Amino acid sequence: MGKIAFVFPGQGSQYIGMGRDLYEKYDVVKKVFDEFDFILEKKLSKLCFEGNEEDLKQTLNSQPAILAVSIAAYEVLKANSNLVPDYLAGHSLGEYSALYAGGVINLQEIIKLVQKRAELMSEAPSGSMTAILGMDDEKIEQLVNEASSEGIICAANYNTPDQTVISGETKAVERANELAKELGAKRVIPLAVSGGFHSPLMKPIAEKFEKYVNNTNVNDAGINIITNVDAKPTVDKAEFSSKMIKQIYSSVYWKQTITYMVEQGVDIFVEIGPGKVLSGMIRKICKTASVYNVSDVESLEKLLNECVIEVGV
């Protein structure tokens, strides 16, 4: 029998209506949303279920909203199955859902911490991000080096073998967008973001965030969490604290994270939270993996019907 990993999505996976049918069917989901609404002193649930897209995509709202749906979906899966993951991971913001699932930070504290993260990141200095398709790591490195003459720029997200996101000062990213085609990129897709996330531009934000991390109760993990900043398993609470700060300005090594778990024997991945962004990435990284997602009642039932049989629970 192979191993199982639970993975959690990050910013960009949000959509209006997310979590609603789970909320209407399961009391445990209501409890999670009630906690978010109470601590944040706003109707986050209403924004998720029937808000408008412009409001939901604002960093200030999207980060706690995605966290809420991901934790709620995780709790409902836990309550309705015997599936126990061998590994946990999350993409950028999604790493906080993984920290919750691994017992590193409790619900009340993680809500407060992610809200602070969202507030700080929404004040980030202006910058740009672009998804580059069809260039390997070597070419990406060349691209970044050449464009750096125009300012700060780096590879921000190593998403799949075919997709890397670059980030940094707008002038440098625009130069990279021009160069990418010359260097053989299949597609160059500027992203609708307000800052150069996961780049050195975010260091001042990380420094401000540090005091909130230091005031949070952080525990050792009960399950190996593969962290974004190095694609390595982590269980130590001190490591988590330093990595949460570093993650804000460091690259997200997502394809390396998935590859590591596959090498450790993981052949079933369950994406827990809104959308199927990570599911699509995982299929591109490992074509033989079985990939499921839990984002609504239908996908939960599909997982419970198929995956439980597959792993013989």
Catalytic residues, by residue number, are 92, 198
Q: What gap in Å lies between CA 221 and CA 114, rounded to an integer?
A: 18
- Are 110 and 99 spatial neighbours (Cβ–Cβ below 8 Å)? yes
Are 166 and 212 in contact by the 8 Å Cβ rule? The answer is no
- Taking only Cα atoms into account, the Rg of the chain, rounded to an integer number of angstroms, comes to 19
Closest C-alpha to 178, from 166, 195, 192: 166
